[in-house]
């Protein structure tokens, strides 16, 4: 399929989704969001790739929502933009494949939200993050959802209320990203992480990803009971049996789900 706002390439078991409007700082327009969610849902159905890496073309990751679409729009029209954003965030959550953000330059507002919504994130040392809506009278309410589920409340509110940038090192310290590397190593470090995960059974990873997000907001022992049921059922799968036998026999597993 030909896209107008994104690119998608495949390298082995890793899919690379590139936000491809560099001349506009990769704004998350309604069209771009619809392309992203459509692609991710297709990837989730086909299962030919095991990990998706999201990156931005040009000098930045993403400057967030396209404010030209918001300016002058009726509440109904603006709601449609954010419904498209909802669909994209939900696709990231729902597909079995882990989604890794590869962040360079800046990730602001909806771009910061996209990083926070991804399962993992690798950032270059020069990357900057912000939710600057307060500065323009348009508070970053939807970005606050995933931001506040990644970092502590006080830091999230500081970012939202001050509109200030935080550095990649601060983002690592507060849990917004998993790893910070020199700019020249960003591509290779992200690919190394993606390939490691892509080498595992996708059915196993998909079950684990779904269960992780199901249990995260449960009370401790409700979560434990749920997790125990998931593991009991998972123990009967072909890949679990193969993996356990391979471990006991001291050999590499041969996954049924390639």
Encode pLDDT of 158-188 as tens digits. 999 999 999 999 999 999 999 999 999 999 9
- List, for residues 59-87, the tens digit of each pLDDT value: 999 999 999 999 988 999 999 999 999 99
End-to-end CA distance of the chain: 24
Average pLDDT in the chain: 95
CATH fold of 6-198? 2-enoyl-CoA Hydratase; Chain A, domain 1 (3.90.226)
Q: What pLDDT, on the 0 to 100 scale, is given for residue 191? A: 98
Our measurement of the distance from residue 230's CA atom to the centroid of its chain's CA atoms, rounded to an integer in Å, reads 24
At 142, the pLDDT band (50, 70, 90 cuts) reads: very high
Give the pTM. Answer: 0.95
Q: What pLDDT, on the 0 to 100 scale, is given for residue 15? A: 98
The mean per-residue pLDDT over the stretch 212-240 comes to: 93
- List, for residues 27-63, the tens digit of each pLDDT value: 999 999 999 999 999 999 999 999 999 999 999 999 9
DSSP states of 206-237: HHHHHHHHHHTTS-HHHHHHHHHHHHHHHTTS
Q: What pLDDT, on the 0 to 100 scale, is given for residue 73? A: 85
Listed in order, the ranges of the chain carrying CATH 1.10.12 are 202-248
Reply yes or no on whether the pLDDT at 257 is more than 80: no
Residue 257 burial (10 A CB sphere; 0-12, 13-18, 19+): middle
Residue 232 contacts by C-beta under 8 Å, 6 or more apart in sequence? none
Listed in order, the ranges of the chain carrying CATH 3.90.226.10 are 6-198
The mean per-residue pLDDT over the stretch 79-96 comes to: 96
List the structure tokens of 55. 């990156």
Reply yes or no on whether the pLDDT at 258 is more than 80: no
Note every long-range contact of 240-248, with CB atoms under 8 Å and residues 24 or more positions apart, other chains counting. 240/204, 243/201, 243/204
CATH fold of 202-248? Lyase 2-enoyl-coa Hydratase; Chain  A, domain 2 (1.10.12)
**Percentages helix, strand, coil for the chain, rounded to the nearest 5?**
55, 15, 30
């Amino acid at each position: 399929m030909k896209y107008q706002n994104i690119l998608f390439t495949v390298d082995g078991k890793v899919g690379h989704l590139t936000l491809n409007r560099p001349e506009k700082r990769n704004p998350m327009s309604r069209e771009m969001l619809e392309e992203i969610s459509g692609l991710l849902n297709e990837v989730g159905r086909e299962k030919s790739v095991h990990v998706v890496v999201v990156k931005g073309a040009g000098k930045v990751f993403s400057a967030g929502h396209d404010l030209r679409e918001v300016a002058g729009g009726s509440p109904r029209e603006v709601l449609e933009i954010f419904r498209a954003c909802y669909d994209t965030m939900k696709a990231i959550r729902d597909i079995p494949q882990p989604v890794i953000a590869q962040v360079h330059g800046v990730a602001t507002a909806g771009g910061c939200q996209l990083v926070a919504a991804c399962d993992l994130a690798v950032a270059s040392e020069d990357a900057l993050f912000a939710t600057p809506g307060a500065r323009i009278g348009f508070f970053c309410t939807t970005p606050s959802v995933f931001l506040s589920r990644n970092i502590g409340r006080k830091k999230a509110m500081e970012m939202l209320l001050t509109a200030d940038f935080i550095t990649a090192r601060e983002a690592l310290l507060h849990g917004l990203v998993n790893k910070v590397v020199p700019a020249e190593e960003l591509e290779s470090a992200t690919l190394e992480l993606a390939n490691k995960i892509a080498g595992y059974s996708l059915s196993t990873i998909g079950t684990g990803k779904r269960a992780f997000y199901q249990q995260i907001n449960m009370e401790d022992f409700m979560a434990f009971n749920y997790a125990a049921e998931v593991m009991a059922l998972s123990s009967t799968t072909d890949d679990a049996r193969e993996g356990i036998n391979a471990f006991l026999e001291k050999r590499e597993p041969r996954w049924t789900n390639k």
